[in-house]
């Protein structure tokens, strides 16, 4: 099967428009920034429009013109949303709430299994993950990658 790779700024701009229309959109993920909860180039995510976003949501955000990330919401205020990838040990992204395009409703594994990232178990797993000291998470991520 042939694979078509479309630049993120083009594809995710169109995804953002579809989400704004109230549609659900499924996209394949790339990269390791959301490990261990989303595996890039293996898992897909189903996105929906949701406002307001909450801490713990996995959001697609435009952090600069044409530059998008799919990261976890860490802080929310009226003026600012702070995001960070679960697999990122340092660094955060910031955007205004209006630049949140959508949130992940389901994670679709290559095996066919589906995970709801807003379920109690998945939120508990995420909260437990961030409590692990950075050296421990670095060690775990090394073996996952």
pLDDT in tens, 67-77: 999 999 999 99
Tokens read off for 17: 């428009």
Per-residue pLDDT, 68: 95
Contact 116, 12 (CB under 8 A): no
Exposure string over 128-140, b if 16+ CB within 10 A, otherwise e: ebeeeeeeebeee
Average pLDDT of the chain to the nearest whole number: 93
- The residue extents of the domains of the chain are 8-144
Q: What pLDDT does residue 9 have? A: 76
Q: What is the pLDDT of residues 4-16, one digit of tens each?
A: 677 777 889 899 9
Superfamily of segment(s) 8-144 = Umud Fragment, subunit A (2.10.109.10)
* DSSP structure string for 49-76: --SS--TT-EEEEEEETTEEEEEEEEEE
């Amino acid at each position: 099967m042939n694979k078509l790779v479309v630049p993120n700024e083009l594809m995710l701009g169109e995804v953002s428009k579809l989400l704004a229309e109230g549609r659900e959109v499924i996209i394949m993920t790339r990269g390791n920034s959301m490990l261990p909860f989303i595996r890039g180039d293996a898992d897909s995510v189903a996105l929906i429009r949701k406002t307001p976003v909450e801490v713990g949501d996995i959001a697609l955000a435009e952090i600069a013109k044409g530059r998008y990330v799919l990261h976890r919401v860490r802080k929310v205020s009226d003026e600012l949303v702070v995001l960070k990838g679960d697999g990122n040990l340092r660094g955060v992204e910031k955007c205004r709430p209006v630049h949140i395009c959508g949130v992940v409703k389901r994670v679709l594994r290559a095996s066919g299994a589906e995970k709801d990232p807003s379920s109690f178990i998945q939120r508990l797993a995420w909260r437990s993950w961030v409590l692990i000291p950075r050296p421990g998470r670095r060690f775990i991520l090394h073996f996952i990658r």
